[in-house]
């Protein structure tokens, strides 16, 4: 078990509905930067922005973006995480992809589709949670709107890190900041939220506020509306010390989730 793990994320504007240019945008930042981390995290739908035109931009699991992620992971010896539009059996998914340097891939399909924005009309909801074990750490990845539903993220798997990637608009920033902190405190875990900045093709403004929070709700990284790569260190011993001291998770309610 690694006592510490280094996490980096990129807070960036996205080029609307342009996978090629977005791959180039992130590729240049990652390959030309001197940061040293175990994991690099990109925002939700990092190749297109939050588009409701999946039929125009969907890729397969052996498409250009997945291959690009494999190249990045191998060349930088780093795991890379982000979501993009994937088509399978004529259905479209907002799918989080976690690629390890050795080429191993784990995936999570967004469970809670954003009905207010019509996401449920064009995408298919995921059915399963994912727990990723990497370098002795357990990650539970989620996507954007999932943040509003605490039952789905409840720490029943003894995970260490909750990870949310998002396109979360500025008008709802208070909810973003509040709920990220709440998820950390109630699940006694590190929580990382990676959001975009800029204006999308629907004229929605995104103010970023990407951050990493510890198990007590204290911010370790906060990016405000700045563009760039941000890095922090998570410490497993500090996490275990807090859990052993307070033992809040021992008193949690047990439940079975039904659809």
Q: CA 92 to CA 95: how far, in whole Å?
A: 9
144 as an active site residue: the answer is yes
Catalytic residue among 70, 140, 144, 181: 144
59 as an active site residue: the answer is no
Catalytic residue among 70, 110, 119, 189: 110
Beta bridge partners of 196: none
Q: CA 166 to CA 6: how far, in whole Å?
A: 20
H/E run at residue 164: strand 161-165
Provide the edge-to-edge strand list for the sheet that holds 211-213: 132-134, 137-143, 161-165, 190-194, 211-213, 219-222
245 as an active site residue: the answer is no
Q: CA 111 to CA 144: how far, in whole Å?
A: 10
The answer to whether 86 touches 113, Cβ cutoff 8 Å, is no
Give the SS3 label for residue 59: strand
User: Which amino acids are annotated catalytic?
Assistant: 44, 110, 144
């Amino acid at each position: 078990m690694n006592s510490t793990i280094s996490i980096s994320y990129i807070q960036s504007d996205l080029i609307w509905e342009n996978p090629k240019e977005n791959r180039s945008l992130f590729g240049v930042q990652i390959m030309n930067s001197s940061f040293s981390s175990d994991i690099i995290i990109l925002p939700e739908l990092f190749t297109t922005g939050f588009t409701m035109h999946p039929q125009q931009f969907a890729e397969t699991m052996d498409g250009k973006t997945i291959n690009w992620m494999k190249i990045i992971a191998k060349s930088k010896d780093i795991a890379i995480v982000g979501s993009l539009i994937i088509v399978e059996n004529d259905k479209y998914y907002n799918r989080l992809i976690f690629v390890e340097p050795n080429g191993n891939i784990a995936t999570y399909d967004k469970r809670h589709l954003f009905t207010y924005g019509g996401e449920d009309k064009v995408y298919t909801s995921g059915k399963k949670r994912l727990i990723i074990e990497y370098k002795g750490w357990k990650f539970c990845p989620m996507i954007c709107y999932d943040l509003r539903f605490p039952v789905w993220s409840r720490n029943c798997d003894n995970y260490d890190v909750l990870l949310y990637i998002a396109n979360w608009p500025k008008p709802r920033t208070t909810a973003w900041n509040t709920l990220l902190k709440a998820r950390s405190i109630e699940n006694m875990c590190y929580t990382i939220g990676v959001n975009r900045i800029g204006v999308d093709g629907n004229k929605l403004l995104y103010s970023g506020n990407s951050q990493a929070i510890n198990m007590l709700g204290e911010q370790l990284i906060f990016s405000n509306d700045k563009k760039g790569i941000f890095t922090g260190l998570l410490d497993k011993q500090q996490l275990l010390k807090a859990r052993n001291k307070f033992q809040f998770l021992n008193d949690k309610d047990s439940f079975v989730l039904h659809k």
